[in-house]
Structure 1
Amino acid sequence: MISVYVDLAIGLVLAFLLLSLLVSGLNEAVVRLLGIRSKFLWAYLRDTFDGGPGKGRSWIPSRIIDVFAKLPFSSQDPRPRHAPDPAPSVVEPMPVDPSAVLAEEAPVPPVDMTERLYERLQEIDHPKGARTSISNIPPERFSGALLELVAAEEGGIESLIAKLEAIRSPLAGHLRGVWEGAQRDMGKFRKGVEDWFDGEMQRLSTLYRRYVKWVVFALALALTLLFSMDSLEYGKTLLRDNAYRAAVAAIASGGGDGTAELKDSLKDKCAVAGSVEPYSCVTEVFSSPALVKIFDHAVMSVTIPAEGADGPSFSFNAGSWWNRLITPGHWPGYLVTVVALLFGASFWWDILRRLTGIRGKNS
């Protein structure tokens, strides 16, 4: 009896794992196709280095619709243009005179600090279009690029911070805090910049995941309804399938206790009693376990024929699929499936490893 419930657990976990992988794959495809990770990163860098457009509105999206509807298709792409050449060997100092700007004797010259940062990072870029595809900057690489900008200034870090303050860059406050905290030691300053940027990336990742979870929920709901995956019904199917196989195994081993149950199962699973040869029916059922029928109720189902036959056949089940969809009895099962998919493929893979005893490389 325990093995029956273990089989049930493995069957359900495997079904959730397959669907979770499909959800993750679709989400990753959308993110890569629209370059959302890269745009999200450079929107943050625009805010941090140059401030929002016109020193007002932030580049970082504030709503979920902005992340997946506005940010990917906006004409104001926060990413710099891709440059195939390596970074210039000579870094030009910022064309800003802080004393003149603060004295209001000269207008603030337009300085694109984000573009200057990209010039020091373009070696790690990959050509995937007109814009940069960089979606992750290691803290060590960021601090190195920032120190290259510092080296271009005659007054070092003090001069760079003064110029950033003159053009009202939000980065000035962050760098001054790190510089003072490092007690004006360049080695400690670099380490402080790395720690600060690493913390900012963690905060940005948390914000990004907060937006993405709604997309994962939408995909999980759409796939659950598309495949009409009723987890509660599927669990009952697995139990019946396991009970039938156990009865066949008992008879094959010489036991007679399962004969009546087997006859009842044959009546349910085969066509009309007596019209199908029993051995053929048993063979057919054993070759089509409940697991391979997980998507039988989808709007489009696929049937793999027996060996030697033509290729797989596709059938359009719009009528039966819609009837299942509007039947309230299936809704609790759909809800269980959606909630299960929100845990993610890694969670269900870990559960499957624990149930089956599969060991990882480091185990």
Structure 2
Amino acid sequence: MFNSTTLEVAIGLIFCYASVAFIVSSINEAIASFLKLRSSSLLDGVKSLLNDPNFDGLARDVYNHALVGHQDQGNASSEEDIENKPSYIDPKHFAIALIDSIQTVPGDFIQLGKDIDAIKNPQIKQLLQGIYARSGGQIENIYTEVAGWFDAGMNRLSGNYKRHSQLYCFIIALVIAGLFNIDSFHLFTTLWQHPAIAAGISLPASSTDFTLDKLMALPVGWTDSTSLSGTQLAGWLVTASATLFGAPFWFDLLQKLVRLRGTGNKPDGNQAT
């Protein structure tokens, strides 16, 4: 069982990491939204999946389909013509859009096979020929398999996007740790010597109820006597690394520890900054 000091130190550290993680997540989401990173990443993924890097073939036709580019006119001839790039495409809608873009006679299953044979890209043609052969003459089976292929491709794309996002979050967290001198080692030492500082931390109503003001109530920030050191830089790195677990993770852990603290007495003592 945790003793009182250990529990308060843990609560203080976790509250710090949860606060920084939430701030970092908010900044990262704002940047991604402003730069439209998700929609751009999705477009690049579709172009790669359909072997259409110049956006002058199947990828363009899919994006011009009403099920995919429903907020545009459907007459884009280049990427720049798409005013509202989607940030998500339903796999079934992609499958329908792709088959509609290929077939010359809607509803004619025999002609669809000929249209697939006429596809210029050998890799996509081979893929769709296999799907067509396994469909048993049912167009729904083609839609289902194409949707599964698209979903698998988007899962790989999502993994790449998350890895890049993690890197951006780490950089943002490191900048925040440096700007506000959020040194994990100094924070731990101060909380260990003065656990009453963390005793005043209450459980936020939700994982989004973290603010910079609440964070600055902890022993962080710059003072006139603060001097940059290697240990301090390492403390920033620890803070930035810890925030990569995400605000929900730290918030859930904070909930458990605050409830555990509620079964005992809070430590007494003078607060220190």
TM-score class, shorter-chain normalisation, is: 0.7 to 0.9
Aligned match for 1:115, one of 39, 42, 60: 60
Q: Check whether the contact 1:49–1:169 (CA below 8 A) recurs between aligned residues.
A: no
SS of match in other structure, 1:233: helix
Supply the AA of the counterpart residue of 1:230: D
1:38 aligns with 2:39: yes
Kept in 1: contact 2:68–2:94 (CA 8 A): no
CA distance, structure 2, for counterparts of residue 241 and residue 327 of structure 1: 23
Indicate conservation of the 8 Å contact 1:4/1:242, yes or no.
Answer: yes
**Pairing of 1:203-352 with structure 2 (within 5 A):** 203-242=156-195, 292-294=216-218, 296-298=220-222, 320=224, 323-324=226-227, 326-352=228-254
- Number of residue pairs aligned between Structure 1 and Structure 2: 235
Q: What are the Cα deviations for residues 3-48 of structure 1, in whole angstroms up to 9, with x where unaligned? A: 3322221111111011011111111111111111111111122233
* Counterpart contact for 1:48–1:169, Cα < 8 Å: no
- Counterpart residue number, 1:135: 87
Structure 2 residues without counterparts, runs of 5 or longer: 74-80, 200-213, 261-273
| Counterpart-to-counterpart distance in 2, 1:192 and 1:171 | 14
The structure having more radius of gyration, on CA atoms, is 1
CA distance in 1, matches of 2:6, 2:161: 39
> What is the deviation of 1:122?
4.7
Match of 1:250 in 2: none
Q: Cα offset for 1:138? A: 1.3
Aligned equivalents of 1:214, 1:239: Cα separation in 2:
31
Q: CA deviation at 1:344?
A: 1.8
The gaps in structure 1 that reach 5 residues or longer are 54-77, 79-110, 247-289, 299-316, 359-363
Give the root-mean-square deviation of aligned CA atoms. Answer: 3.2
2:96 counterpart of 1:194: no
- 2:78 match: none
Does residue 1:11 correspond to 2:12, yes or no?
A: yes
Please tell me whether the aligned partners of residues 51 and 170 of structure 1 are also in contact (alpha carbons under 8 angstroms).
no
Q: C-alpha separation between the residues in 2 aligned to 1:244 and 1:219?
A: 27
Question: Residue 161 of structure 1: which of 102, 116, 133 is its match?
Answer: 116
Measured in 1, the distance between the counterparts of 2:104 and 2:220 equals 66
Q: Secondary structure of 2:87's match?
A: coil
Structure 1 stretches of 4+ moved >6 Å = none
Q: Which structure has the higher relative contact order (CA within 8 Å, separation 6+)?
A: 2
What are the Cα deviations for residues 166-213 of structure 1, in whole angstroms up to 9, with x where unaligned? x32743233223223334432222211121111111011112222222
TM-score (norm: length of structure 1) = 0.56
**Structure 2 CA distance, aligned partners of 1:142 and 1:352?**
42
What TM-score do the two structures reach when normalised by structure 2? 0.73
In the alignment, what sits opposite 1:146? Answer: 98
CA distance 1:50–1:332, change in 2 (3 Å) = closer
Q: Which amino acid aligns with 2:98?
A: L
- Displacement of 1:338: 1.9
Letter of the 2:218 counterpart: I
